[in-house]
Amino acid sequence: MNMQEKTPDVDSITGLYDSKKAYSSIIAMQKHASNNEFILNNLFSQDDNRLQNFSIHSTNAGMHFDFSKNLIDHATMDIFAKCLKDANIQQYINDMLCGKCINQSEQRPVLHVALRSFHPLIPKNVVNEVNLSLAKMVDFCHVMRANNNITDIIHIGIGGSDLGPKMVYHALEHTYKSKFKVHFLNNIDGAQLEHILDRLEAKNTLIISCSKTFTTLETCANLDACIAWLNLYNISISKHVVAITANVEQAKKYDIEQIFSFEQWVGGRFSLWSSVGLVIMLCYGEQVFKELLAGAAHVDKEFINNDFKQNIPQILAMLGIWYRNVFNLQQYCVSAYAENLHGFTAYLQQLDMESNGKSVGMDNRLLPYHTAPIVFGEVGTHCQHAYFQLLHQGTQSIPVDFITYKHAHHKYARHHDILLQNCFAQAQALMIGQYDNNANLIHIGNRPSNTIILDYINANCIGALLATYEHKIFTQGVFWHINSFDQWGVEFGKKLANQQLELAKRMQT
């Protein structure tokens, strides 16, 4: 595996001390990697207990994390722990919890953890706001779930106002019976709008317009079209449209009475725990939504309190940095061997790449090291019939997170055994490789992976899984000394689109 060419010494880079700290840590990890040969087959033969030594089980989260198939040893773990200590990870966690504006460029706190966890550092006014918002959701859901006239929900939103709610809705739809059928309207392509409206009765439909800014072009255009559709059938806006937003004044311009607000300290891609998750509570009820929150809260507690070697999100984070910055691997694959998690990677793409796809540090200087990888993946076993050829015999190594679940929520036991055995076999094949005199059959091997096994596909485990990746991304942002909570890179394209729209309008007049 090619190592990144020697990087200049740390004093030659500019920037605040923190970026230099990351740079020094990367150099230390590169030195460790070049002084050791990490051959997985050897690492396992040298340590009969490697699987146990590099696995963590979180009972409350209902999650088992096997990271034994990584190009690391115990000394590597010590270096990882030191790197995070040098990055002041605990201080950044405390800063987040007490509501400091760690989203520097927007001067906002980052408090999605407060939506599901109680911690002494979290400001009391935040806790009160969260409780009030949750109580309003519960009241509305009790009324709506007793209203048998509504059968369908059109959920309008995009990005974090769509991906999280949609992914959780589908993740849970087999385990719990949904009260409503939800149609996620997220694209500006009119084909989607027409496909949805042509199949629904306006009188039986609730429209949720979800948008933190309430100015997103796609969402506004789809809301306008849905309101026109309701008007066509003389259906009351006040009874059939609700808004979820941090921009209440903008929502009021639409004559929408039911407005579920959330605070600016909830980032869009971290917002499903807030009123953005209303559709989940509507479909599955208050108890299931609170179990989702509880699952995340278990992980929050472990992330905040556990030492590095018992800290799943922090280990995941450092492994990602190890492959990105030391082995110079540009992609990261996440394959969930669970059909109900078919929306997970799309959700993770925004969570990871919109958070950490940055090239400027918190000191407003260009970074001297890489940041977020390109995240991709499809559910298993489809992935084996798509891109696993490249993962096994391609010219580059791509780390893989395999995610699956222990107890089936369906009646086909044999199917579940085949699913699990395929998941584990793929990780094994990536690791051990195979030699053959026929060059076409050679599998290079020594390709790293993690395996996360959830106890169930249920609200608690899904909440835990999502919080785990949220904290992974947070931790990587701290190490790379970047702002993981803004997304200025998406504004320029929107501006050009609006300019072209204006130009087109003028040319039509």
In the complex with ligand F6P, the residue whose CB is nearer, 269 or 290, is 269
Cis peptide before 381 (omega within 30 of 0): yes
The three-state secondary structure class of 156 is strand
Secondary structure letter of residue 112 according to DSSP: G
**By the rule CB under 6 A, 222 interacts with ligand F6P:** no
Which residue among the candidates 354, 358, 392, 481 is catalytic per the annotation?
354
Write down the least CB distance from residue 253 to ligand F6P, Å: 15
The residue from 15, 62, 109, 159 that contacts ligand F6P (CB under 6 A) is 159
Stretch near ligand F6P under the rule CB under 6 A, chosen from 211-219, 286-294, 302-310, 320-328: 211-219
In the complex with ligand F6P, the residue whose CB is nearer, 458 or 487, is 487
For residues 248 and 237, the answer to whether their CB atoms sit within 8 Å is no
The DSSP line for 250-264 is HHHTTT--EEEE--T
Question: Is residue 303 exposed (0-12), middle (13-18) or buried (19+ Cβ within 10 Å)?
Answer: buried
Q: How far apart are CA 170 and CA 269, in angstroms?
A: 17
**By the rule CB under 6 A, 164 interacts with ligand F6P:** no
Query: In the window 472-491, what residues touch ligand F6P (CB under 6 A)?
Result: 487, 490
Write the interaction track for ligand F6P spanning residues 321-350; mark x where CB under 6 A is met and - where it is not: ------------------------------
The residue from 68, 211, 275, 355 that contacts ligand F6P (CB under 6 A) is 211
Write down the least CB distance from residue 491 to ligand F6P, Å: 8
Which residue among the candidates 31, 181, 385, 407 is catalytic per the annotation?
385
- Looking at this protein, which amino acid is placed at residue 349? Q
CB atoms within 10 A of CB 276: 28
The residue from 219, 340, 355, 451 that contacts ligand F6P (CB under 6 A) is 219
User: For 379-494, where are the E strands, in sequence order?
Assistant: 400-405, 449-454
**By the rule CB under 6 A, 161 interacts with ligand F6P:** yes
Write down the least CB distance from residue 193 to ligand F6P, Å: 17
Degrees to nearest 5, angle at CA 182 with 181 and 184: 155
CB atoms within 10 A of CB 201: 11
**By the rule CB under 6 A, 160 interacts with ligand F6P:** yes
Pairing mode, strands 205-210 and 152-156? parallel
Q: How far apart are CA 70 and CA 309, in angstroms?
A: 15
Active-site annotation holds for 407 = no
Active-site annotation holds for 494 = yes
Write down the least CB distance from residue 339 to ligand F6P, Å: 25
Active-site annotation holds for 195 = no
How many residues would you count in the chain?
509
Q: Which residues are catalytic?
A: 354, 385, 494
- Residues making contact with ligand F6P (CB under 6 A): 158-161, 211-213, 216, 219, 268-269, 354, 487, 490
